[in-house]
Structure 1
């Protein structure tokens, strides 16, 4: 028998409080054993982290909402939580158990003020997709328009603040946050702000209209239009625009030339949003993109959009130029401007910057196509993460550019999964020039 979903604020709090108590107890026990010297420190810590991570991931997946979204962000931010947590929480990007349809139906009727029969010719009870704060159902309007209906889970928005406070307490009592308190404050404030926006579907509708204007001169970009008559703060109805998931981009339908074209278009989308529009699609995972054999790229889900400060974009641009030119003194200054480097700490050794530059620059080394399908940048980065600890006091999570980093990492994985073979150096240099990204 399926568990009844926890939708009340009190129920969510009790569930999270139980998780917090368990994690804190495990951490206290682990510390005691370590102080007494009764276990191998490294192995025991990893085992304890894995056990706690599994419990947290299971609870967040069941509760959905703000805490699950933080789990997704944490899985993409290696300096936020230990590796074991990133691995366990990564599932939350792909696996979100659906909410029963009767709960979804009640939410739709409450929000739109009419019965399902009055609103739709039909609506499918099996989810078209499910995610952290809501799920999507396919439907048809009475005028014959095929649509998808995005429905927010009940209780998620009201419990956002208390959920975040409880999750932060869990991570702190579990000894899991690897950052100074000031950085944690700043990071959670940024996450809260983005979540508040994402929980407001009227805000997402505005974002959709904005991005449709951004890309109106790029006919190869498709963004579904909003159906205003069937949309509110917690229900968002969009025209149905279908394409192939990355797993369906197979050689029998997409030749290498088309895949490479799509790769160039993905890069153009990313660079335009960063350098031209200074406003980025902040949740670039595989489920939010689709493709067609004619090279069309379809974008979904504009709940998480980050408007960037011009000075942050400029600092990012200058940091990339300095890295390309191997000017590590300038790179250090620009990272301070980005908030990634602690200003009152000594400069970082050039050899350290050179090591990371040599890993990350590979796709942009020259004008020759780079095979993203064979890319191992993520493995090379993982192999060097231990070196981070020697400079831990000199760096901090760059909160203002956190979503830029998230966007770039998401696009790397899409290019890799697609198997794109492309030379982006000329495009990158054009965007980094003084007239960056001009049409």
Structure 2
């Protein structure tokens, strides 16, 4: 058997093992939800949502990351699922040192250790797709080496098949959100995250775009120690945001972090049409000087300039209560069959997201005391969508919504009090669609990021 065929078989059988581990649990839980929704059989939905979290939390892989994203789309999942899945964290069991040694040899050759002055045998951090080791180069530079877990392509494909089944089952029970474009978007983004060479290019892109932004720091990739499954980058000193919050920092310190994160997301979006699609606590560190380290550049979305124009148009339509302009904005986003009824329902969600940006005063991002950012509004929007036959969100909506809700949740945790309206006006000032197109093309080319298809 050739190595190529052996690798293909290994991927196939790894995928089948992954599928088998998730299918029984997800299928059984979905069947219990279906029994309640279709046949009126009452079940403890909170209990089987907890079952689902335990299954996905035990697997600690891409399906968990997808679940986190889905929890930010208004009722794409039942609320019990969303509440449990939102608690999942991107942590995975560590690969032991003998395994790491073999994996590193596979990426950098048998004498890989000679490329480093020292290399930490214990993982310094872990995520859904790989683990990080701290090392020192011969010039004294401290670096982070993110090494991908084995068999991740098969893991992703198995998870995507299982996700497709789960979404199809849920859609039969509840047609408020039509998932086909959401699934396509998540599939493409997850497959891109497997390529660490691409992530290195996206890291260079973000270093360039955020260079003028105060208090935000991005690692520098080390090209000659990076492969498609190994990403070596400069080490940034800092601690997890949640751990920092546990120290009860001052309001001034919390506001500084919140403002830096706002600019880190929306300067790239409104000036370059590019967004970081995975805003959660695990992707930020607070530095000893109070600044912020931005980590993990696998989930990046590049938008056409007209989409960014549409986001601003929708803001202005909500501000001016102009439903006709809102309809045009939704169409420019990619929503099809926009009717006055759909505009009114979708505007409920848009008003919620834009409301802090319209309110020209210092305030918290959410002032109603809700523990979950936007949950009550999402339930209202969901009911409205069901009553008009549902909606098919375009692919572009998925990570844009994920970013807005994910950041809102972080601002909620920070208990930040800022003039969000002033920040929004600053990052959108002098917006020009043609100029954005030029900046975007130049930035992508300089960083080596493939242009969008």
| Aligned residue number for residue 127 of structure 1 | 123
- Counterparts of 1:171-320 in structure 2, within 5 Å, are 171-173=167-169, 178-179=174-175, 183-218=178-213, 220-249=215-244, 255-292=250-287, 294-320=289-315
Residues 208-261 of structure 1 deviation map (CA, whole Å, 9 limit, x = unaligned): 111111122335321111122221110011111112322344698954334323
Aligned match of 1:24 in 24, 27, 40? Answer: 27
**Alignment CA distance shift 1:151-1:428 (3 Å):** same
**Alignment CA distance shift 1:28-1:423 (3 Å):** closer
Segments of structure 2 that go 5 or more residues without pairing to the other structure are: 1-9, 437-453
Would you say the 8 A contact 2:213–2:263 is kept in 1? no
Corresponding residue SS for 2:13: helix
Residues 102-123 of structure 1 deviation map (CA, whole Å, 9 limit, x = unaligned): 3333212211113453233333
CA-CA distance at 1:165 after TM superposition:
1.7
Would you say the 8 A contact 1:291–1:298 is kept in 2? yes
Give the distance between the partners of 2:167 and 2:108, measured in 1 at CA.
Answer: 38
| Aligned residue number for residue 169 of structure 1 | 165
Give the distance between the partners of 1:255 and 1:129, measured in 2 at CA.
Answer: 27
Give the distance between the partners of 2:207 and 2:343, measured in 1 at CA.
Answer: 44
Aligned match of 2:134 in 133, 138, 151? Answer: 138
Residue 396 of structure 2 is aligned to residue 400 of structure 1: yes
Residue 363 of structure 2 is aligned to residue 370 of structure 1: yes
CA-CA distance at 1:433 after TM superposition:
4.9
**Alignment CA distance shift 1:422-1:384 (3 Å):** closer
| Aligned residue number for residue 331 of structure 1 | 326
**Alignment CA distance shift 1:371-1:384 (3 Å):** closer
Residue 94 of structure 2 is aligned to residue 98 of structure 1: yes
CA-CA distance at 1:362 after TM superposition:
4.3
Normalising by structure 2, report the TM-score.
0.81
Aligned match of 2:72 in 71, 76, 90? Answer: 76
Segments of structure 1 that go 5 or more residues without pairing to the other structure are: 1-6
Give the distance between the partners of 2:246 and 2:61, measured in 1 at CA.
Answer: 37
- Counterparts of 1:55-66 in structure 2, within 5 Å, are 55-66=51-62
Give the distance between the partners of 1:86 and 1:173, measured in 2 at CA.
Answer: 16
> Relative CO higher for 1 or 2, CA cutoff 8 Å, sep ≥ 6?
2
**Alignment CA distance shift 1:303-1:361 (3 Å):** closer
Query: Which of 282-291 and 67-76 deviates more?
Result: 67-76
Residue 422 of structure 2 is aligned to residue 422 of structure 1: no
Give the distance between the partners of 1:124 and 1:404, measured in 2 at CA.
Answer: 37
Give the distance between the partners of 2:62 and 2:246, measured in 1 at CA.
Answer: 39
Would you say the 8 A contact 1:151–1:234 is kept in 2? yes
Corresponding residue SS for 1:208: helix
CA-CA distance at 1:194 after TM superposition:
0.9
Give the distance between the partners of 1:220 and 1:386, measured in 2 at CA.
Answer: 36
CA-CA distance at 1:197 after TM superposition:
1.5
**Alignment CA distance shift 1:328-1:295 (3 Å):** farther
Give the distance between the partners of 2:62 and 2:346, measured in 1 at CA.
Answer: 35
Corresponding residue SS for 1:93: coil
Query: Which of 369-378 and 330-339 deviates more?
Result: 369-378
**Alignment CA distance shift 1:63-1:254 (3 Å):** closer
CA-CA distance at 1:264 after TM superposition:
2.4
**Alignment CA distance shift 1:376-1:432 (3 Å):** farther
Residue 385 of structure 2 is aligned to residue 391 of structure 1: yes
Aligned length: 423
**Alignment CA distance shift 1:81-1:243 (3 Å):** same
Would you say the 8 A contact 2:115–2:137 is kept in 1? yes
CA-CA distance at 1:346 after TM superposition:
4.6
Would you say the 8 A contact 2:181–2:393 is kept in 1? no
Would you say the 8 A contact 1:139–1:147 is kept in 2? yes
